[in-house]
Amino acid sequence: MCGIIGYQSQNKEAFDKLDEGLKRLEYRGYDSFGFATISEGNLLVEKKIGKVSTSSIKPLPGKIGIGHTRWATHGKVTEKNTHPHKDCAGRLAVVHNGIIENFQELKKDLILKEHIFLGETDTEIIAHSIEEFLKIGYNLKQAVIGTGNLLKGRNAFVVLDSTTNKMIAFRNGSPLIIGIKESEIFLASDIQAFLHETNEVMYIDDNEIVVINGGIEFFNLKNGEKIEKRRIKIDLDSNVFEKGDYKDYMLKEIMEQKETLAKAINQDAQKILHVAQEINNAKNVFFIGCGTAARVAHTAEYVFSMVADRQVNFIPASEFENYKHFLLPETLVIAISQSGETADVLEALNVAKEKKSRIISITNSPESTIAKMADFPFLINAGPERAVASTKATTAQIALVILLAYACTGELIEGDKVLLDVAGKVNDMLNPRYKEHIKALAEKIFKKENAFIIGRGINYPMALESAIKIMEVSYINSQGFAGGELKHGPIALIEENTPVIALVSEGKTKEEIISNAIEVKSRGAYIVGVSPENNEVFDYWIKVPEVDEVASSLVNLIPMQLLSYYLGKFRGHDVDCPRSLAKSVTVK
Ligand code: F6R
């Protein structure tokens, strides 16, 4: 959430590198963007409302600079609130990611010291605070350390100083990484910003600052001491971040599920068995996550109950603190997060750490903060997910959860077999005819303003997840319900031809969900059945492969992802960057 880029070179112009890097970070926020460079000792700043990929900005001269793509938190989407922000003297420019929790207090103090604020962001206080420390005789490094130590919350920022021609980065809680290509130095919120240039990186850890001035020097925020860091070569091909032949990342990522399920379950058997033992021995187990990842955590309750006869609890990560009195050293907290950087999950894991509970992570990013906090980090190996709406990561997470549940019963090989069979069926399912069939449904219903999705058992969290998907990509008001719940209130919203999508699986819930569909059909609903078999109640049938009930969560979700995609397209939206959202939610 918010993308930061920085660049310095001895002989190359910075602007194109910053611009290209920022375009690759656009998934982190796309409300507005801006750049700052230093040219002949002057600080130059340009900003614009909108997306960096679709608007152009006048290139700025200079061999050092910073850029930012914003997801607004404090203050509306205006040019004044767009980063970079300057100090009063116009010597410094700052870009920032995170939320400064004590910003009101800090701002009041700086206003008393006669600093002039131009916008409403919390970021502006960083520029003025550094300026204040410089005024009282600190050098730039000391002023950044002084400011960094004042900030409460999860933050990362970079300050560009036109007097010393230096750039200093600060990290505490929000991601930042350095890339090195001969004499060029990159700095970014995510490696994606510069992987097309270099795969040689240096990691910045929390409570560190980095001074970039031709060289790269790391310092500890607490005592100002120098830290030695290694350069590491990352084994990742930048092509994995490209769209290839697809128009949108979302469709590309949906189609990649032909392979990603099999990759997700290709895990080290010893590690799976070890974690299964931890789950079996734990006094209590909590699955946590946010948004779509929370729906996966919710699914885990059903998976463990059905496969392993084991009770586990699902808590949305943002609510986890309320359960902290249940946490013991024998508690296991299993965090699900595609990005591995979600602020609410990190906060929850801090609570778990305080209570000395054990942590397992299921992420898509090996170097993420959440993976680093875990006692046992699992990777789903889905490859980068660029579209804001999560698709391939979701099904990969569910597959891994199912595998873990099988391992808990001593049936890891059986679990592997079941899931490989599902992966093969998904591969067959995602063919051009199938896409056309779902597109035709989207064309029929895209003008509707409401849609309901119902499911029972494991398909209940899938109904909730389908609703998130439709809502975020098409902006249709879609709601998911447990099949039995519809008649306890929401049925009042069913009008003639309101789409109601029933997620059906072969198994004990089949007859009941069909009855629920009949109930709403008699109130005029247009019934879409996602089911292995057709039924006379369906007005439109989306066939899914016949798999066991647990795996129906996987095969039923995929057509719903495609439907969301086509609904978004028919409604003319940018499906990869839905309004008001961002991919990596690094603020609480
Ligand atoms: C919706 C979606 C979000 C994320 C949520 C958590 O499609 O992607 O709801 O699931 O913001 O993100 P991660 O998984 O990165 O922790």
Q: What is the pLDDT of residue 92?
A: 98
Q: What is the pLDDT of residue 508?
A: 85
**Across 468-496, average pLDDT:** 94
Q: Is the CB of 396 under 6 A from ligand 1?
A: no
- The predicted-structure confidence for 94-112, as pLDDT tens digits, reads as follows 999 999 999 999 999 999 9
Considering the chain, what percentage of its residues have pLDDT values greater than 90? 91
Write down the CATH number for the domain with range 243-430: 3.40.50.10490
What CATH fold (topology level) applies to the domain 431-575? Rossmann fold (3.40.50)
CB 402 within 8 A of CB 303: yes
DSSP 8-state secondary structure symbol assigned to residue 469: H
Q: Name the pLDDT band for 533 (thresholds 50, 70, 90).
A: very high
Residue 210: is its pLDDT beyond 90? yes
Ligand 1 site-directed mutation target among 174, 287, 338, most atoms within 8 Å of CB:
338
Q: Is the CB of 192 under 6 A from ligand 1?
A: no
Write down the CATH number for the domain with range 3-240: 3.60.20.10
**Across 266-284, average pLDDT:** 96
Q: Whose CA is nearest to atom 16 of ligand 1?
A: 337
**Across 135-154, average pLDDT:** 96
Radius of gyration of the chain (CA): 25
Q: What is the pLDDT of residue 48?
A: 96
Q: Name the pLDDT band for 3 (thresholds 50, 70, 90).
A: very high
- The predicted-structure confidence for 9-18, as pLDDT tens digits, reads as follows 999 999 999 9
Q: What is the pLDDT of residue 64?
A: 98
CA 412 to CA 583: how far, in whole Å?
33
Secondary structure in 3-state letters for 257-288: HHHHHHHHCCCCHHHHHHHHHHHHHCCEEEEE
Ligand 1 site-directed mutation target among 71, 287, 318, 339, most atoms within 8 Å of CB:
339
Domains 3-240 and 431-575 share a fold: no
Strands 177-181 and 184-188: antiparallel
Q: Whose CA is nearest to atom 5 of ligand 1?
A: 291
Compute, in angstroms, the gap from residue 579 CA to the centroid of ligand 1: 15
CA 317 to CA 297: how far, in whole Å?
10
Secondary structure in 3-state letters for 304-361: HHHHHCCCCEEEEHHHHHHHHHHCCCCEEEEEEECCCCCHHHHHHHHHHHHCCCEEEE
Q: What is the pLDDT of residue 556?
A: 98
**Across 193-203, average pLDDT:** 95
Residue 586: is its pLDDT beyond 80? no
Domain ranges of the chain: 3-240, 243-430, 431-575
Q: Is the CB of 390 under 6 A from ligand 1?
A: yes
Q: What is the pLDDT of residue 487?
A: 86
Ligand 1 site-directed mutation target among 380, 585, 587, most atoms within 8 Å of CB:
585
Q: What is the pLDDT of residue 56?
A: 84
Residue 173: is its pLDDT beyond 90? no
Q: What is the pLDDT of residue 244?
A: 87
468, HSE (Cβ side, Cα atoms, 13 Å): 19
| Strand locations in 353-447 (E) | 358-363, 376-379
Residue 584: is its pLDDT beyond 80? no
For residue 84, cis peptide bond before it (omega within 30 degrees of 0): yes
Q: Is the CB of 1 under 6 A from ligand 1?
A: no
Residue 73: is its pLDDT beyond 90? no
Bigger pLDDT: 162 vs 214: 162
578, HSE (Cβ side, Cα atoms, 13 Å): 23
Q: What is the pLDDT of residue 148?
A: 97
- Mean predicted lDDT score pLDDT of the chain: 95
Q: Is the CB of 467 under 6 A from ligand 1?
A: no
Q: Is the CB of 364 under 6 A from ligand 1?
A: no
Q: Is the CB of 585 under 6 A from ligand 1?
A: yes
Q: Name the pLDDT band for 243 (thresholds 50, 70, 90).
A: confident
Q: Is 577 a catalytic residue?
A: no
- The predicted-structure confidence for 386-415, as pLDDT tens digits, reads as follows 999 999 999 999 999 999 999 999 999 999
Q: What is the pLDDT of residue 35?
A: 98
Q: Whose CA is nearest to atom 10 of ligand 1?
A: 292
Q: What is the pLDDT of residue 137?
A: 97
- The predicted-structure confidence for 340-354, as pLDDT tens digits, reads as follows 999 999 999 999 999
Q: Tokens representing 560?
A: 């719903």
CA 504 to CA 490: how far, in whole Å?
20
Q: Whose CA is nearest to atom 6 of ligand 1?
A: 290
Spatial strand order of the sheet with 284-289 comes to 313-316, 284-289, 331-337, 358-363, 376-379
CB 217 within 8 A of CB 208: no
pTM (2 d.p.):
0.89
Provide the β-strand partners of residue 500: 452, 527
Q: Is 583 a catalytic residue?
A: yes
Residue 471: is its pLDDT beyond 90? yes
Q: Is the CB of 342 under 6 A from ligand 1?
A: yes
Compute, in angstroms, the gap from residue 315 CA to the centroid of ligand 1: 15
Q: What is the pLDDT of residue 141?
A: 97
Q: Tokens representing 360?
A: 């397992």
Q: Name the pLDDT band for 455 (thresholds 50, 70, 90).
A: very high
* Dihedral over Cα of 11, 16, 21, 22: its sign: positive
**Across 115-135, average pLDDT:** 97
The active-site residue out of 86, 448, 583, 588 is: 583
- The predicted-structure confidence for 511-526, as pLDDT tens digits, reads as follows 999 999 999 999 999 9
Q: What is the pLDDT of residue 507?
A: 85
Q: Is the CB of 339 under 6 A from ligand 1?
A: yes
**Across 555-577, average pLDDT:** 97
Q: Name the pLDDT band for 237 (thresholds 50, 70, 90).
A: confident
DSSP string over 36-67: EEEETTEEEEEEEES-TTTS--PPPP-SEEEE
Q: What is the pLDDT of residue 448?
A: 97
